[in-house]
Amino acid sequence: MTLSHTGRALADAAPVPYWLDRPDRPDPLPPLAGRHSADLLVIGGGYSGLWAALLAKQADPDRDVLLVDAGTCGWAASGRNGGFCAASLTHGLANGVDRFPEEVGELERLGRDNLDAIAATVAKYDIDCDFERTGELAVAVEPYQLDGLAADADLARRYGHRVRLLDRDEVRAEVHSPTYLGGMFDADRVAMVDPAKLAWGLRRACLDLGVRVHEHTRVTGLRADSAALHASTLGTGPAAQSADPGRVDTRAAGLPGSIRARRVVLATNAFPPLLRRLRAYLVPVYDHVLMTEPLTPAQRDAIGWRNRQGLADTANQFHYYRITTDGRILFGGYDAVYHYGNRVAPELEQRQATFTTLARHFFTTFPQLADVRFSHRWGGVIDTCTRFCPFFGTAYGGRLAYAAGYTGLGVGATRFGARVLLDLLDGGNTPLTRLDLVRRKPLPFPPEPVRAVGINLTRWSLARADAREGRRDLWLRTLDRFGLGFDS
């Protein structure tokens, strides 16, 4: 596929997330200014914060819950992802087995229950988000990947997954691509969802239950009583632990304000954390996505994609893709881009080189769709940690709880994370807070410039492994040995 062809296909693509580019999106809620108080303050209006606010209010309708977000609810990762809502809490079963071998069975059960609870919440609050348990099809596009699929299937069956291996003809009968050599279908552990509509539906459910929600309200610092506890000086020493309640400073539409809260949920994920300690454990990486125009009936027939199952190939630098209810194909992944110094900025969401690469890969996957054009192109930042699944903790003597590090698999896992945060704030010794997943931290990333050098070397090595039939070089094997790595 020529560069001129991909350029034409991308020429009219709007540089905004498709999911958020809708006339029926909810109007923003007013910002918060002045002095306020709450029993529970939730900082961040993505899935993590929305689930925490909703679950807290369900558990205690009399609790005064206040949620604030610097933008609007769902404007960041929660409104611009691929819409894969997975049962896994550990970024896949293999990663869970490697890192939590003694409790992975329990984590798998909790993950299944969590996905069931998301489905029940969608039904209970009549959230119109196209939630459908479609399953996911992993495809091999190189011969060496077939052995990996067989090993994945054996592991999945040991933990009760309903998976089926497909040969070349069987997988192409599901979705026709000349690149497919085989596949593995996981029938019931992944749902497809419209991510922005899910966030907006959770926002509405929170409001209906009495959660106070204020948007365009940026938290600028944390303080304990009258002693400043900004990110640069955050600690858990006696001064921070003795003050109760805390105070959070905000700035909304240029107007200062403050909130006194007995408990705080910090749910800012990939964005620069208000707690300095988190900076060592998180790196923000940018993921990029294309969305096609709706396929015509003839185009849909050409690829035979009759179901709504999600798809992903099995390379280190993998693509994920799915079909929407109006017949568009979302195609994303491959390039996980880190910017020096943990930089996060709106202009980083548009990266023409990555969009061109994705378009070229799309047409390689579906050459029969050569006349398709893309309607939207966008990027978003993912919170990544060295174990590729969430970690948890508290600060201010247990009065603040945080979760981060979902590494792109947070659409489902954030609900579980919210349950953990509320248990931690309650100070209880619960089955969730006793999990190694909750008690242990990932290994930290090194400081700059070693951080950027290591991440970019790892990206280079992953691409090299894909080109060498999956063979991992000395650098990747060393990272595997020490549990410190980078995953696309």
Strands 227-229 and 217-224: antiparallel
DSSP labels, 184-226: EEE-SSEEE--HHHHHHHHHHHHHHHT-EEE-SEEEEEEEETT
Q: Is residue 190 part of a domain?
A: no
Residues 6+ apart with CB under 8 A from 5: 363, 370
- Would residue 151 count as lying in a domain? no
The angle, 0 to 180 degrees and rounded to 10, between the axes of the packed helices 450-467 and 474-482 is: 120
Residues 222 and 269 in one domain: yes
| 173 found inside a domain | no
The answer as to whether 189 is a domain residue is: no
Task: Identify the domain containing residue 473 by its residue range.
Answer: 449-482
Closest CA to 104 of 48, 162, 164, 155: 155
Number of structural domains in the chain: 2
Q: Residue 274 region, left (φ>0) first, then alpha (ψ -120 to 50), else beta?
A: alpha
Residue 342 lies in a domain: no
In a domain, 262, yes or no: yes
How confident is the model over 322-359, as pLDDT tens digits? 999 999 999 999 989 999 999 999 999 999 999 999 99
pLDDT at residue 126 greater than cutoff 80: yes
What is the reported pTM?
Answer: 0.93
Question: How far apart, in whole angstroms, are the C-alpha atoms of residue 444 and residue 342?
Answer: 14
At residue 258, the pLDDT reads 84
Are 435 and 398 found together in one domain? yes
Q: Is residue 53 one of the residues assigned to a domain? A: yes
Same-domain pairing of 431 and 456: no
**Residues 154, 280: contact at Cβ < 8 Å?**
no
Q: What is the pLDDT of residues 255-310, one digit of tens each?
A: 677 888 999 999 999 998 889 899 999 999 999 999 999 999 999 999 999 999 99
- Domain shared by 424 and 462, yes or no: no
Among residues 259, 277, 207, 279, which one has the least CA distance to residue 451?
279
Which residue pairs from 242-247 have beta carbons closer than 8 angstroms and sit at least 24 positions apart in sequence? 242/397, 243/396, 244/397, 244/399, 245/37, 245/399, 246/222, 246/396, 246/399, 246/400, 247/223
Q: What is the CATH number of the domain that holds 214?
A: 3.50.50.60
Mean pLDDT of 57-68: 97
pLDDT higher than 90, residue 223: no
Q: Within its chain, how far is the Cα of 93 from the centroid? A: 17
Q: Does one domain contain both 424 and 457?
A: no
Q: Are strands 310-313 and 319-323 parallel, antiparallel or unpaired?
A: antiparallel
- Answer whether residue 234 is part of any domain: yes
Distance CA 485, CA 472 (A): 13
Mean pLDDT of 119-134: 98
